[in-house]
Structure 1
């Protein structure tokens, strides 16, 4: 018996030392291991034994039911489960996921489970996005159900998940090495047997070489081929067909037929073909595995490993606290060079941080008191004091990661069609194999088995299943590196079909750094300070660029916010309202603040009114983003119709449209009107892409076929959108369109190749012209062609 903690043999004379870990009594080799294990258990860190990279020799086969039941506890779920109404959402790591068909099997299994609303597997990162209703099913029930069919799920943790993937790659490489060594040895003996068949060989030498070949092939067949048999058995238990089913039938048939021929001393043996088949299959899967892991690295980079301990101010001194326990309002100290663990406001005069993780720009940015420090930013040369605003899953970094994970897990229609075609193909291949076997019984019974084997091997739809997800994953990775973060899976298939691109104005085409150019008091009875104090009180907490400009300007004047007793009501696209004892105050554009029949201002203006009587007039100035001209010109070059939709009632939208050359302009549009216009164009057959940033754009972003939100925009806009522009880089839009077109073309090429190969190889394999080893080589090369063709997306030149 091995020690549960370190894996070394337990002494026979001393002990045994025992302790209850993970709900079971475990044996240990010494008191030291017992003490360490009990400390880990007492600290609530016993999941270490589930996620450690190097495990002891003895491992329990399945997770105990009582252990899985712990994942239903609210305190445990707080770390990895988010809630939306009566539904729960979790991201889980999957072990033993060997191919795209396994991902399809897990999805189908869960989608048939009562209470599971959504189950999408990202084969590239071996992660499952699960959405379920707690009142109908528990998380432990889902974990137990998948554990029974051979798939172990654990809450996603970046460090342990990366270790698991590395361990899988190492194991896969060992399987390739064993299969390669076995293939070389079996081929040397096979050459002697082939030559002996033509030139003559004594029976005892022939049988000796066959037995040696069988012994060499046995570990290759049993261990290197084990993932195929396990996956096939899991699929059959779930009453589904995957590509591992024909592969396993072919391997078992070839191996045991060869063993039978060796035992009776008659017939042909194909031990070398078995070794070669496994070697080619495992080699192609290893190359594919490494490609998928590299493609997923960008998504993983969004989760900076934040400091586990952070200093916070308590009892007039700095104390250490785990970063995941920080709450809003805590005063924290972030050391130089550390990443910011939460979204926080700077509490000192100035400081420098790098937001390269979010924007891709490594240059240090100067932050002033009150500016937001985003989670994932890296502090410069000196420590910074800050006040926590958002922590945990509420930070911008966590939100972006969740959105990208959702995009990677979702399957566009093209991928779903490819999966359906692959599984349809497997069923037909099995039927065809039976027909080939029966047909050869009438022609030459001695060739029936080997022709059938060649058909099963040659037509395995591995390339068909890899054709779409490999290209989509690599394209998603490259787009994220450019600053175009996908949050929905359909974007890459939607962008090439777009006909219209619609822009918001403030914060999208313009920088959004508005400045007050004029402040004019209209009321003869109210002071300038009192009116500004009221404006500041109404706008405090708002995130729109106009609100930020107002707050910055008023605070720079040394004015404190007024004390208000009523709640401020937001009217998206119009302004704010406050009902006080003195009357109804309105802050917004002229039509909202002064009355429906008021003429629009000729410039961007905000009015403060009381019962529609003007009190204060504030004029703004803004500037266009430097890349806006090139972007609009590039959209026209692609044949897109450009539209400017703005809630601004002034003449500014028209001036901006004329400056940039935008074809259609709609100003003074409410959120409902914006949404209605997009719906109208869609009804006429247009494919609409919408780019915006504010709450007033959320409905339009959701209505459009593809909504693109600015990273500096509101959370509402980002969650309504299908993609996010990191660093507000409009320049990433045109390369995104170009890469989407290249990706669609690449997928079509892969699909054509996969279908052509499978249909082309079928007749000669069925007619007996292709040996099983040649069929294995062709099938593996076909899969590699698809993977390497998709990898070209990493290096395609894109013009901005």
Structure 2
């Protein structure tokens, strides 16, 4: 069905053409009138792109050409930094002015014709266009210009602007809801007296007046408030897939048409009150759903808003402390920036001056501010909650921790889990079967009681609730995802919760997953007369300037006042030699220390790392360091074991070390000495035997096995995010967050089952009741709307669930 226009209306936007206007464009060899040079330019761009069939496929007019802005000069800034290592670039754009499926077709085809574009996919639901192109062949601004040439305002995806678009959609839905509610109340004022006058106290003329008044007051609800249902039904039918809007639109249209025909004939039943009530209640349910989805997306939106657009760069530091405002995208490794209190860090960096506290809530879910001092690496997107600090940028804004997380967020939610796809398919078949049933019911009643045939058929169309069936899964998943993000768990792929729930095997990597991934001091063995504190103080002094992880562990364990070491020499692979208080010491391997102490110490345990301290008088101490278990690891392992899942430890460390860690955690199956290829083969062998495998790793060396697992979790942190291949990221690096995700998965699947059971049970009871004439149209409308509301409200309980 094409858009309808008068002979002298603008062929592009539908507005009247002023007398004497000479603007025309030849479309399919026919000169078409245009109202302004803007529309003429847009129409000519569509024709030149070979997309003139857009005009035969559209269902609504395009935006007026003069209302579509040209590409602002500042949008050229988005061309900077879009390249990728393989020469390809990608971006997400917000597109305004989408009116129908023909718009989607036109946008994708126009953008695909831009030289260098590899793919273009338009999501009509979110109004977001994903484009991939060759970085050297075109720029982001070329894509924006191409879209404006065919009449669509587009911008690089910006959470704030996109949020404004969604807010406008919410406000429009609220206006439609308000008009429907106002219409319903007014119609009820005229319908109730007619219902009450069953004893003939109201004469025919007054009844007719009441009906005519109801008809006029119903028109705003049908023509304006019910637009979403009619538009959705039309698009569903054009695509050959009858969606949930089809029976709704048919029910509204049939009830209104039947009532209007009765008013015109002066006899028969009218259901204007049922029509307005149904529109109002269903819009109320949709508004509730929209608000629920917006709330569920707030945590992710906060993450996207967190990265600042600019930073205070200090080009002359340290001699000159003047600052200049620089775009965050222009920051490069080595730049020095000033971060004032209350500001977000524009990029990952190292503190070179100042001590402060950082608010990492958006990145890790940790609510308490974390102390950071000079020399500490800090992530972009963290908020400076203390004093001003000076940072040296170690990764540009594009590669910062927060930017990586935002990229993961944009991946999240693009697909649908299997449960949602199943529900959508069932809903589509359900709608088709419902339409056939409504027709059969109409024929059956026409043969037995023609006076009620139309009323009963309308009730059948209205009472069914495919909405509840389709909302049962996505609403619950959205609520659960929101709750997990607030706890530092970013769900990247849509299947995470349902696959984790049905996993049969849970595999853990050791280093960086079950353990902290860095050595800590386990204990100190003394061999001389010096005290434990004195030996630790001496070792910390020798390690004061060392960047080695073992040295950092020794320094962290020392609580005494620091000593000064002179003539410090670092012997690579052996240890450190230096003087403290005029006496020479050595710290390092046994053989290195024995060269000065004259004694070869006893070896440490095989799964420990030993560092020795000695002087000319002999051996003083042995510091035993080990990779410590995470404090929450035992509880997480027990949680999965109680759930009936087999827990396996899979590590690249030696078998004896791996078995020692497994024994400490109560894991019965431990496999050590595994290279990345061996881990991959191990998981694939389990899957070949029918296992559903969940894998948790540190995201750096486990890329292949994380990709191969049925569902995978990566410990989030800094540079590791650049190499993630996992389905879910534990942002705070807490293993306990994996246990929380598992508990949430169990609750989410329970809520989904409840929702599906309710939706199915409701339809099983309500549809036969309507078919047998036990429900009036208004009762059917109330039942259908309440069914959807119950599903949404039940799902929202997951946002408040305690883990």
TM bucket by the smaller chain?
0.7 to 0.9
Deviations 1:139-197 (A, max 9, x none): 99999999999998754311122223333333322322222222122112112222345
Q: Which residue of 1 aligns with 2:644?
A: 639
Work out whether residues 459 and 770 of structure 2, in 8 Å CA contact, stay in contact via their aligned partners in 1. yes
| Partner residue in 2 for 1:173 | 174
Deviation at 1:711, TM superposition (A): 0.9
1:583 equivalent in structure 2: none
Greater shift in the superposed pair: 669-678 or 360-369 = 360-369
1:674-694 per-position Cα deviation (integer Å, ceiling 9, x unaligned):
111111222222222211115
What is the match of residue 130 of structure 2? 130
Cα separation, 2, equivalents of 1:187 and 1:321: 62
What's the offset of the Cα at 1:727?
1.3
Deviation for aligned residue 1:784: 0.7
Check whether the contact 2:329–2:398 (CA below 8 A) recurs between aligned residues: no
For residues 451-490 of structure 1, the aligned pairs below 5 Å read 451-490=456-495
- Show the counterpart of 2:257: 256
After the TM superposition, which of the residue ranges 210-219 and 362-371 deviates more from structure 2? 362-371
Question: Which residue does the alignment assign to 1:782?
Answer: 787
Q: Say if 2:508 is the partner of 1:503.
A: yes
Distance (Å, rounded) in 1 between the aligned partners of 2:211 and 2:797: 44
CA distance in 1, matches of 2:472, 2:605: 56
Name 1:735's counterpart in structure 2.
Answer: 740
Aligned residues: 667
| Residues 721-770 of structure 1 deviation map (CA, whole Å, 9 limit, x = unaligned) | 11111211111222211110111121122112212222322222223322
How far residue 389 of structure 1 moved from its aligned partner, in angstroms, is: 2.6
Q: Residues 280-319 of structure 1: CA distance to partner in whole angstroms, max 9, x if unpaired? A: 1111111111111111111112124444442112354311
- Residue 209 of structure 1 pairs with residue 207 of structure 2: no
State the distance in 2 between where 1:65 and 1:727 align.
49
SS where residue 602 of structure 1 aligns? coil
Assess, with a 3 A threshold, how the Cα gap between structure 1 residues 87 and 312 changes in structure 2: closer, same or farther: closer
Supply the distance in 1 between the matched residues of 2:772 and 2:512 (Cα, whole angstroms): 66
CA distance in 2, matches of 1:420, 1:716: 36
Q: Label 1:64 to 1:640 Cα distance change in 2 as closer, same or farther (>3 A).
A: farther
Shift of 1:780: 0.3
**Within the alignment, does 1:285 sit opposite 2:289 as a pair?**
no
Please state whether the residue corresponding to 1:242 is helix, strand or coil.
Answer: coil
Change (3 A) 1:194 1:515: closer
2:542 aligns with: none
1:236-275 matches, within 5 Å, as 236-275=237-276
Q: Which residue of 1 aligns with 2:220?
A: 219
Q: Does residue 433 of structure 1 match 2:434?
A: no
Distance 1:353 1:69 in 2: 42
Contact conserved, 2:481 with 2:491, CA < 8 A, in 1? Answer: yes
Q: Does structure 2 conserve the Cα–Cα contact (< 8 Å) formed by 1:511 and 1:625?
A: yes
Q: Which residue of 2 aligns with 1:159?
A: 160
**Unpaired runs of 5+ in structure 1?**
1-23, 27-58, 519-538, 564-599, 608-617
Distance 1:121 1:746 in 2: 28
Residue number in structure 2 paired with 1:772: 777
Distance 1:774 1:546, change over 3 A: farther
Whether 1:416 and 2:421 are equivalent positions in the alignment is yes
Instruction: State whether residues 121 and 409 of structure 1, in contact with CA within 8 Å, keep that contact through their aligned partners in structure 2.
Output: no
Cα distance in 2 for partners of 1:227, 1:199 equals 40
Matches within 5 A, 1:736-751: 736-751=741-756
Whole-angstrom CA distance in 1 between matches of 2:418 and 2:489: 21
Matching of residue 682 in structure 1 with residue 683 in structure 2: no
Task: Give the conservation status (yes or no) of the 8 Å contact 2:465–2:759.
Answer: no
State the distance in 1 between where 2:569 and 2:76 align.
Answer: 41
- 1:471 Cα deviation (Å)? 0.5
Give, in whole Å, the separation in 2 of the partners of 1:432 and 1:645: 56
Cα distance in 2, alignment partners of residues 369 and 455 from structure 1: 71
Structure 1 length normalisation: TM-score? 0.73
| Structure 1 residue 409 displacement after superposition | 2.2
Alignment deviations for residues 440-467 of structure 1 (CA, whole Å, 9 cap, x no partner): 3322333222222112111241111111
Partner of 2:607: 603
- For the pair 1:300 / 2:301, whether they are aligned, the reply is yes
Partners of 1:508 and 1:82 in 2: how far apart? 33
1:356-387 deviations in Å (ceiling 9; x for gaps): 22122233323343432211111132111112
Q: Give the drift of 1:236.
A: 3.2
Q: How far, CA to CA, are the matches of 2:439 and 2:151 in structure 1?
A: 29
Q: Contact 1:247/1:460 (CA < 8 Å) preserved in 2?
A: no
Shift of 1:261: 2.2
Q: Tell me which residue corresponds to 2:393.
A: 388
Unaligned runs of 5+ in 2: 1-35, 39-59, 524-545, 558-564, 573-603, 612-622
Q: 1:145 to 1:338 in 2, by over 3 A?
A: closer
In the superposition, relative to structure 1, how do residues 66 and 332 fare at CA in structure 2: closer, same or farther (>3 Å)?
same
Q: Cα RMSD (Å) of the superposition?
A: 4.5
Mapped contact 2:445–2:452 kept (Cα < 8 A): yes
Q: Is 1:648 matched with 2:648?
A: no
Moved more, 369-378 or 769-778: 369-378
Match of 1:615 in 2: none
Q: Are the equivalent residues in 1 in contact too, given 2:98–2:127 (CA < 8 A)?
A: no
Kept in 2, the 8 Å contact 1:671–1:699? The answer is yes
Describe the superposition over 1:116-154 as per-residue Cα deviations: whole angstroms up to 9, x where unpaired: 87969696xx46573656799999999999999999875
Residue 87 of structure 1: how far off its partner (Å): 6.5
Q: Kindly name which structure, 1 or 2, has the bigger radius of gyration based on alpha carbons.
A: 2
Counterpart position of 1:624: 629
Partner SS for 1:502: strand
1:697 and 2:697 aligned: no
SS of corresponding position for 1:623 = strand
**8 Å CA contact retained: 2:696, 2:713:** yes
* 1:401 to 1:731, Cα distance in 2 relative to 1, 3 A: same
Residues 452 and 391 (structure 1), Cα distance of their counterparts in 2 relative to 1, 3 Å cut: farther
